[in-house]
């Protein structure tokens, strides 16, 4: 049975949805596809509420460790004899995982994967133009980061009803162990977390994204996208042209040099569809583009499109959606 360690960063008493996506995938692989069998541990960096802990325990974990900071995870990941160490892609994991991988003999780092079948991972290459399937057949530990929204989240209670009952889950949870903190050695310490958009999902994890490009013309016009996002329950993103022009915050940038997103629905408003933008959003499940130029490259990637002036189309959309 392959030993697997999941690394979760907690915030406001919860772990990220993307962690539940990975845990759901692991459950499906083991109990539905029966393709693999894992002894899965989880290390939580930060505090989670008691309610959240109970929910996490339903995902068939052996041991849950608690750590104060990412540095504390190092000894566990390095010495724990794990075949796989996995986490969702995040700003901190982009740095932390490769650094961890080089400190382990025979380790392999695979970043930003979009699929895992127990024996292989798949990851986009060449700005998303190709998908590479990588066999996990080498000896040593694989350090793997997973793109958010690559897998669905299971209704875990329903899952256990259909796949063997609740007792099988409970017996596998052993303990919650405190990993020794190494605060003194930590070079980076989080002092404060300031949320840019309080009521919205984080861009990388959002299920629906409404993005604006250069055609937004000014910061104030992004309010139109905010209104559309409100009715759709979406998060607002932007192209680099919009960010460089100061219409949107850098944290909102989608693309090669911005965030990689994979929502169920991506609405591109006044975005031409340059390769560097597509690199960050082409794995979206449905792409819907609004552009006044019928020859804009975004239309060759879009599932649905409207050729028209976004300042006319979006208000009509908002009205329709509200109705």
Ligand X SMILES: Cc1cc2nc3c(=O)[nH]c(=O)nc-3n(C[C@H](O)[C@H](O)[C@H](O)COP(=O)(O)OP(=O)(O)OC[C@H]3O[C@@H](n4cnc5c(N)ncnc54)[C@H](O)[C@@H]3O)c2cc1C
The residue ranges that bind ligand X (CB under 6 A) are 213-215, 239-242, 253, 255-258, 270-272, 274, 276-277, 280, 290-293, 296, 309-311
Min dist CB 95 to ligand X, Å, is 19
Residue 186 vs 274, nearer CB to ligand X:
274
Min dist CB 291 to ligand X, Å, is 4
Name the phi and psi angles at 149, rounded to 5: 70, 15
Tell me the three-class secondary structure of 140-186, residue by residue.
Answer: CCEEEEECCCCCCCCCHHHHHHHCCCCHHHHCCCCCEEECCCCHHHC
Q: What are the CA-CA distances from residue 168 to residues 50, 164, 203, 272, 285 (Å)?
A: 21, 7, 36, 52, 34
Residue 138 vs 312, nearer CB to ligand X:
312
Min dist CB 253 to ligand X, Å, is 6
Min dist CB 302 to ligand X, Å, is 12
Q: Are 318 and 269 in contact (CB under 8 A)?
A: no
Residue 88 vs 213, nearer CB to ligand X:
213
Residue 157 vs 293, nearer CB to ligand X:
293
- The token pair that represents 103 in the structure block: 């400190």
Q: Are 241 and 262 in contact (CB under 8 A)?
A: no
Min dist CB 297 to ligand X, Å, is 8
Tell me the helix, strand and coil percentages in the chain, rounded to 5. 35, 25, 40
Residue 5 vs 271, nearer CB to ligand X:
271
Min dist CB 130 to ligand X, Å, is 19
Residue 173 vs 274, nearer CB to ligand X:
274
Sheet of strand 130-135: strand arrangement: 115-116, 120-125, 130-135
3-state secondary structure of 290: strand
3-state secondary structure of 101: helix
Burial of 271 (0-12, 13-18, 19+ CB in 10 A): buried
In the complex, which residue's CB is closest to ligand X? 255
């Amino acid at each position: 049975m392959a030993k697997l360690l999941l690394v979760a960063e907690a915030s406001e008493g919860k772990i990220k949805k993307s962690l539940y996506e990975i845990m759901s995938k692991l459950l499906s692989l083991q109990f539905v596809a029966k393709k693999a069998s894992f002894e899965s541990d989880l290390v939580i960096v930060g505090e989670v509420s008691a309610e959240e802990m109970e929910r996490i325990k339903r995902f068939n974990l052996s041991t849950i460790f608690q750590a104060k900071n990412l540095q504390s995870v190092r000894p566990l990941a390095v010495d724990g004899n794990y075949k796989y160490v996995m986490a969702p892609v995040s700003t901190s994991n982009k740095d932390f995982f490769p650094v961890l991988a080089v400190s382990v003999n025979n380790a392999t780092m695979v970043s930003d994967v979009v699929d895992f079948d127990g024996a292989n991972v798949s990851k986009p290459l060449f700005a998303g133009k190709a998908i590479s399937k990588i066999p996990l057949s080498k000896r040593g530990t694989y350090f793997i980061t997973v793109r958010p929204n690559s897998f669905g989240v299971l209704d875990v209670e329903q899952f256990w009803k259909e796949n063997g009952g609740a007792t099988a889950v409970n017996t596998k949870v052993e303990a919650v162990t405190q990993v020794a903190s190494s605060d003194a050695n930590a070079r980076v310490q989080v002092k404060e977390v300031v949320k840019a958009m309080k009521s919205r999902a984080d861009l990388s994890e959002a299920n629906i994204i409404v993005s604006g490009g250069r055609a937004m013309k000014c910061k104030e016009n992004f309010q139109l996208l905010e209104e559309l996002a409100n009715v759709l329950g979406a998060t607002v993103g932007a192209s680099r042209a919009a960010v460089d022009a100061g219409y949107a915050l850098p944290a909102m940038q989608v693309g090669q040099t911005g965030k990689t997103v994979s929502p169920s629905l991506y609405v591109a408003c006044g975005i031409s569809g340059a390769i560097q933008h597509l690199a960050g959003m082409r794995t979206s499940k449905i792409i819907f583009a609004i552009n006044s130029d019928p020859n804009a490259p975004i239309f060759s990637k879009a599932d649905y499109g409207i050729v028209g002036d976004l300042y006319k189309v979006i208000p009509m959309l908002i009205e329709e959606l509200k109705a």
